[in-house]
Amino acid sequence: MTTTAFLHLQPKIAQALTRVKLAHCAPPAFRPAADVEGVEPCPRCGSKLVFTVSAATGLSDGRCTAACGVRWAAQ
């Protein structure tokens, strides 16, 4: 399954991931200056969504602490 198809099936994950990317992976570098660890409200259930962004790769991992299904890895 392609990433695009996956995100199409999981709009809440796409919404959360897009927010993280906009906040921490802006052009021109598309990666943060230092590793990021953050928390924001889960767009599906409102619980805590914890995420990280790697300064080395610009890739992000995220997981809702309520295990509502909102999670991603290496995006």
In whole angstroms, give the CA distance from residue 3 to residue 32: 22
- The CB-of-49 to Zn ion minimum distance in angstroms stands at 6
The answer to whether the beta carbons of residues 38 and 63 sit under 8 Å apart is no
- For Zn ion, the closer CB: 52 or 58: 52
State yes or no: residue 50 binds Zn ion (CB under 5 A). no
Residues 51-70 that bind Zn ion (CB under 5 A): 64, 66, 68, 70
Whether 18 contacts 26, CB under 8 Å: no
- Contact set for Zn ion, span 15-44 (CB under 5 A): 42, 44
